[in-house]
Amino acid sequence: MRAALFLRELEAAGVTDVVGLPDNSSAALFARLQHGGGRIRLHTVTREGEAFALAAGLWMGGARPMVLIQNTGLLESGDSLRGTLMRMRVPVVCVVTYRGYAKMKRVLGGPPAAIDPALLSRNDLDSVALVTEPTLAAWGLACGRLDSEADLPKLGEAFARSEEQAQPLGLLLTCDMVADA
């Protein structure tokens, strides 16, 4: 997925700020935002849990922020998501890069119907991919997937739905962002 197209969708959705912590999948977008992301301000954090508090504060100040973190960090910071964005019903879209998704899809065909210790300990899978969607479902965070550039219109839809329902929404990014050629 080209970072420039992703950024264009964020601008069209009226995003004012991106808050997060870069990883390999999102590095191209972070670089683009850092070196001339247009109207969108970039705020990097040291831990993913900080992203939710910062996004809530930006929203309270009239901004339209988006959180961008990896699924490993999302799981580590779940209490911040629950206790801040969800409890306060802050309409923020959280784009979560889906580490391990490609391997899980290749090996299992997609997320498994059931998870057990044998599956979690397989060395041919990244266990964080196995638990990402079930964890989000348990937390009550509605989420969709961004699998390709064709899915980019889902960004604007997610922001509209988040505001309409006065709650955060998640979008799982299953592919890497790339710099423009």
Dmax (CA) for the chain in angstroms is 48
Average pLDDT for 17-29: 96
Sign of the torsion angle spanned by Cα atoms 18, 21, 24, 27: positive
Distance CA 44, CA 51 (A): 8
Which domains, and CATH codes, for the chain?
3-173 (3.40.50.970)
Report the Cα 105 to chain-centroid distance in Å.
Answer: 19
Average pLDDT for 62-85: 94
Distance CA 52, CA 132 (A): 18
Look up the pTM and report it: 0.94
List, for residues 98-134, the tens digit of each pLDDT value.
Answer: 999 999 999 999 999 999 999 999 999 999 999 999 9
DSSP string, 29-60: HHHHHHTT-TT-EEEE-SSHHHHHHHHHHHHH
